[in-house]
Amino acid sequence: MFDKIIRENQFKTKCVIVIYLLIFVLIGLLVDIVRINAQSLSGGFYSLLTLQQFPLVTLLMLGIAGAVVLFTISRFKQILLSGSEYKEILKGKESNAQEREMSRILDELVGVANLSFRPKLFLMEAPFMNAFASGWSADNSLIAVTTTLVRNLTREELKAVMAHELSHIRHGDIRLTLMVGVLSNIMLLVVNYAVYLFLGNSRERGANLARTILLVLQFVLPLLTLVLQMFLSRSREYMADSGAAYLMGDSEPMIRALQKISGNYAQSDFSQSDTNPTRSALYIFSASELFSTHPSIENRIQALLRQ
């Protein structure tokens, strides 16, 4: 049952990535059609795709995206943990009983999952209950949990949360989320500026049509990007919840943990407490209701109860 859910959600996330890449290349080609002042839209696409005309902007966009991804990969830990006091819990160098217990829990989960790697473990000082996972590969992955989460959950509930985050790493969706975030920002930036490029009245019909499409995308793409991000993030949360229940052999600890975390945010949204927006989509729980990247707690619990 769990393996089937994981396979289905992995397929969905791959579909989203393909859609992003297709949109990404389409925008680059449209800008290139304006740049070469193509007589027709179809003719412009043909000449660019067959390399009769060099797709300069398209390749530049791909190059910039690659450079930004590489920068994010090399600096993701500093980017995501900035704005908070945090401590890495090193195995064998724990300073107190709480840290030793967290380290043991992670070792247990790594053993149950039969993994060949052990993510880095961080304890982050924060007044709210939350956790996230990140990394580009198993070798540089990390799990971060807040001090308030550790203080307010039982051992089994904390283990379920850490199993949820470990599942994100096992499923590879943290890499997908990082890639989508980079592509989204570059796409929106290019579309916003592309319609103002190559201004003039002597444009051919194909170039003018390409510019019109870019103008429409300027308004449509932000909404489409939001919908795709919501679909991807909600899918990955259901998948990680299922993965946590699978590793625990029981869905009840995950359900209780979600209830306690949502109850914590019911007292305050903590919007002023967390000064780092880059990790909001990675958290196990999102306080925002409108256009939230996370499914509701009620739906997540219902999904766990059905498994």
Task: Show which residues are catalytic.
Answer: 165
Amino acid (1-letter code) at residue 29: L
Asked whether the beta carbons of 220 and 191 are under 8 A apart, the reply is: no
Q: How far apart are CA 176 and CA 280, in angstroms?
A: 16
Q: How far apart are CA 81 and CA 304, in angstroms?
A: 30
DSSP bridge partners of 124: 86, 146
Q: How far apart are CA 254 and CA 167, in angstroms?
A: 13
What are 269's two structure tokens?
Answer: 């949204």
What span, in angstroms and rounded, lies between the C-alpha atoms of 254 and 170?
17
> How far apart (Å, rounded) are the C-alpha atoms in residues 24 and 26?
5
**C-alpha distance from residue 35 to each of 29, 59, 215 (Å):** 10, 14, 15
Q: Which residues pair with 131 in a beta bridge?
A: 145
Residue 127 has, within 13 A of its CA and on its CB side, a CA count of 10
Q: Is 197 helix (H, G, I), strand (E, B) or coil?
A: coil
CA–CA distances in Å: residue 88 to residues 78, 99, 127, 131, 194 = 12, 10, 18, 14, 44
